[in-house]
Structure 1
Amino acid sequence: MDADKFDYQVYKLSKSFFAQFIGKKDSEILLKEQRPYNCLLIETKWEYFICIPYRTEIRHQEAYLFKHTKRSKSHCSGLDYSKMIILEDLSYIDSSPAIVDPDEFTETRKNINKIVKQANAYLDTYINHCNGKKVLPEATFRRKYRYSTLKNFHDILGIK
Structure 2
Amino acid sequence: MNIEYKIVTLTEKFYLDYPSDNYPEILEKSKRAYNCLMLELNDYYICIPYRSEMRHKQGYKFTKSKRSIKSQSGLDYTKIVIVKNIEYLSKLNAVIDADEFKETVENIGKIARGANRFITDYIKIVRNNVDDKGLPKRFRFSTLQYFHKELSIL
- TM-score, normalised to structure 1, is 0.89
Aligned residues: 152
Q: Partner letter of residue 106 of structure 2?
A: K
Q: Against the structure 1 CA distance between its residues 71 and 23, is the aligned structure 2 distance closer, same or farther, given a 3 Å change threshold?
A: closer
Which secondary structure does the structure 2 equivalent of 1:43 belong to? strand
Cα offset, 1:12, TM superposition: 0.4
Query: What is the CA-CA distance between 1:24 and the residue it aligns to?
Result: 3.6
Q: Which residue of 1 aligns with 2:145?
A: 151
Structure 2 counterparts to residues 1-160 of structure 1, below 5 A: 2=1, 4=2, 6-44=3-41, 46-132=42-128, 141-160=135-154
Say which SS state the counterpart of residue 30 (structure 1) adopts: coil
Q: Residues 40 and 118 (structure 1 numbering): CA distance in 2 closer, same or farther, change over 3 Å?
A: same
Structure 1 residue 32: Cα displacement:
1.2
Post-superposition offset of 1:159: 0.7
- Alpha-carbon distance, 1:26 to partner: 4.9
Q: How big is the shift at 1:127?
A: 0.5
Distance 1:154 1:7 in 2: 24
C-alpha separation in 2, matches of 1:33 and 1:96: 19
Q: Deviation per CA, 1:29-84: give whole Å up to 9, x if none.
A: 0121222210000012x110110000001010001000000000001001000000
Note if contact 1:22-1:31 (Cα within 8 Å) is conserved in structure 2: no
- What SS class does the counterpart of residue 8 from structure 2 fall into? strand
**Any gaps of 5 or more consecutive residues in structure 2?**
none
Q: CA RMSD of the aligned region, Å?
A: 1.6
Q: How many percent of aligned residue pairs carry the same amino acid?
A: 39
Q: TM-score normalized by structure 2?
A: 0.92
Residues 72-98 of structure 1, C-alpha deviations (whole Å, 9 max, x = no match):
000100100000000113210112220
Structure 1 residues not aligned, in runs of 5+: none
